[in-house]
Amino acid sequence: MIINLRITALVTVILCPLYILLAEQKNEDPGELTLKRIFTDRDFSSKGFSARWSTDGNQYTYLKDAEGKDKGKDIRVYNVAESRDSVMVKASELFRPGTQKQIEIEDYSFSRDRSLVMIYTNSKRVWRRNSRGDYWVLDRSSGELRKIGGEARASTLQFAKFS
């Protein structure tokens, strides 16, 4: 019995400092910079800002998460002179015709008069960049959304532009 107590005491004396030492190593200082924290934990990552200035320089457009039940992104416009922000294209306008599938905006451009919006989506990588994808055109006045390329295979169009 005395031998069992001595063994228990010896194990306790050895394991307690070891446990304390290991517990301190796990609680890293959150202020300490490590390679893991910089490159893996995304503590220092930032969200991009997709602002596009208008040709007159008085406003810019950008993407912002839609408010409410819509999960996509709105294209919003900010008027610098008036310090006013408004929705230009609602995420709810970007559902593929006849489906409940929403178009995810990867890029967008406007016609000169801004009545049409071309949306680039479903892109695939070619060499170093995602340059193949699908293009959709939204007529802002009628709300009509149509796919460019008709029945072409998905992610096969490149570099579509308004002329």
User: Token pair for residue 16?
Assistant: 């307690």
What pLDDT sits at residue 78? 94
Q: Which residues pair with 117 in a beta bridge?
A: 110, 138
Q: How many domains does the chain have?
A: 1
Whether residue 130 contacts residue 123, with contact meaning beta carbons closer than 8 Å, is answered with yes
Whether residue 75 contacts residue 86, with contact meaning beta carbons closer than 8 Å, is answered with no
Q: Is residue 133 part of a domain?
A: yes
Q: Residue 138 CB: number of other CB atoms within 10 A? A: 20
Q: Is residue 100 part of a domain?
A: yes
Identify the domain containing residue 126 by its residue range. 52-158
What pLDDT sits at residue 22? 64
What pLDDT sits at residue 9? 60
Q: Is residue 142 part of a domain?
A: yes
Whether residue 162 contacts residue 111, with contact meaning beta carbons closer than 8 Å, is answered with yes
Q: Low-confidence residues of the chain, pLDDT below 70?
A: 1-13, 15-30, 42, 47, 69-70, 154-158, 160
Question: 26-43 b/e with 16+ CB inside 10 Å = b?
Answer: eeeeeeeeeeeeeeeeee
User: Token pair for residue 13?
Assistant: 């004396």
What pLDDT sits at residue 154? 66
What pLDDT sits at residue 84? 92
What pLDDT sits at residue 36? 79
Question: Element (H or E) spanning 106, and its range?
Answer: none
What residues have CB less than 8 Å from 51, skipping those under 6 apart? Answer: 60, 61, 62
Q: Is residue 45 part of a domain?
A: no
Q: Is residue 6 part of a domain?
A: no
